[in-house]
Amino acid sequence: MSEQQRLDEQAIAKAAEIGLASKLDAAEQIDVDVKTDLFKVVQGQADAINISGQGLVMEKDIRVQEMELHLDNIDIDPLSVLLGQIELKHPVDAIAKLVVTEQDINRALNSDYVQNQMQAIDLNVEGQIQSLKMQQMELLLPDDDKMIFSGKALVQTAGNSRQLDFSAVVRPRTSKQPVLVESFQCKNGQSISLEFAVALLGKMKEITQLSYFEIGKMAIGIKEMEVQTGKITLYTEARVKEIPL
């Protein structure tokens, strides 16, 4: 690699770092590594882009402890690079690794942003539609390969409503198995019918088997989850539309 090419890459990477930082509420560290040169940029091409960051905060309460994102063979808008905004001509497949802590997950789950985005879940209980709206959620990561969800939900049906407090033990997705619900319990002396439990577990299975979910300018598909005490590492494939994300 020539010295000029390396200087070109550093200049483009620095512009991208500034642009990415401007889109975030906070960031402890952001590093962008671009494999290209000005001649390729003018032609709208980049060989590879690697982005890594720590302590990335968006939407005030959504925080990622660590992120690594790798993209290959990218078509970009040359003019956007000058503005620190690497605009992709076409969405591109990427490999991403995300690390989130228990504290950050719970902060996000109960943030205004997530609560506003979360839709009520409709359950078909023997032909009757019952709506379940989450009101409070907590995730505990006490041991490796174990997640404990607890929460409060409002269940509505035919003009009636009731509170449901619950706790569920879940095993994470791996390369060999899907997400598994190990147990589900009602709390505070509450109970649910067998029919409601079947409908709820069916909906949980449907949600956990979703191929992709959207975060910002990325559609992320989780391939594997590594759960350790206090944190989750997600190994994903992503469809990226724009950088900054």
The amino acid that residue 6 corresponds to is: R
> Is 145 part of any domain?
yes
Cα–Cα distance measured from residue 243 to residue 245, given in angstroms and rounded to the nearest whole number: 5
- pTM, two decimal places: 0.80
User: Does residue 86 lie in a domain region?
Assistant: yes
Number of domains in the chain: 2
171/197 same-domain check: yes
Distance CA 215, CA 240 (A): 10
| Cβ atoms of residues 231 and 100 within 8 Å | yes
Q: What is the pLDDT of residue 172?
A: 87
Among positive and negative, which fits the CA dihedral 117, 164, 137, 180? negative
Give the pLDDT confidence score for residue 169 in this predicted structure.
92
Sign of the Cα pseudo-torsion (51, 109, 167, 212, in order): negative
- 27 and 86 belong to one structural domain: yes
170 plus 156 within the same structural domain: yes
Where in the sequence is the domain holding 72, given as residue range(s)?
A: 3-101+214-243
pLDDT, tens digit (0-9, with 9 covering 90-100), for 170-180: 888 877 888 88
Residue 216: pLDDT band (50, 70, 90) is: low
- Evaluate whether residue 139 is within a structural domain: yes
Same domain, 92 and 8: yes
With vertex at residue 224, the alpha carbon angle to CA 220 and CA 166, rounded to the nearest 5 degrees, is 85
Dihedral sign from CA coordinates of 102, 104, 105, 107: positive
Each residue's pLDDT tens digit, 177-199: 888 888 889 998 898 988 888 89
pLDDT band (50, 70, 90) for residue 4: low
Q: Which two structure tokens, joined as six digits, stand for 2?
A: 């020539």
Q: Which 8-state DSSP code applies to residue 76?
A: B
pLDDT tens digits for 80-106? 665 656 667 777 888 989 999 999 999
The CATH code of the domain that includes 194 is 3.10.450
Nearest-angstrom CA–CA distance, 76 and 84: 12
Tokens matching residue 240? 């990226």
pLDDT of residue 117: 72
Q: Classify the C-alpha dihedral 73-210-65-21 as positive or negative.
A: positive
| Confidence label for 3 from pLDDT (cuts 50, 70 and 90) | low
Q: What is the percentage of the chain residues whose pLDDT exceeds 90?
A: 24
Count of C-beta atoms within a 10 Å radius of residue 123: 19
What is the pLDDT at residue 229?
A: 95
**One domain, residues 132 and 204:** yes
| Percent composition of the chain: helix, strand, coil (DSSP 3-state, to 5) | 25, 50, 25
SS3 of 195, please? helix
Which range, 9-23, 49-63, 230-244, is most confident?
49-63
Confidence of residue 164 (pLDDT cuts 50, 70, 90): very high
Same domain, 163 and 219: no
**Residue 7 Ramachandran class (φ > 0 left, ψ -120 to 50 alpha, else beta):** alpha
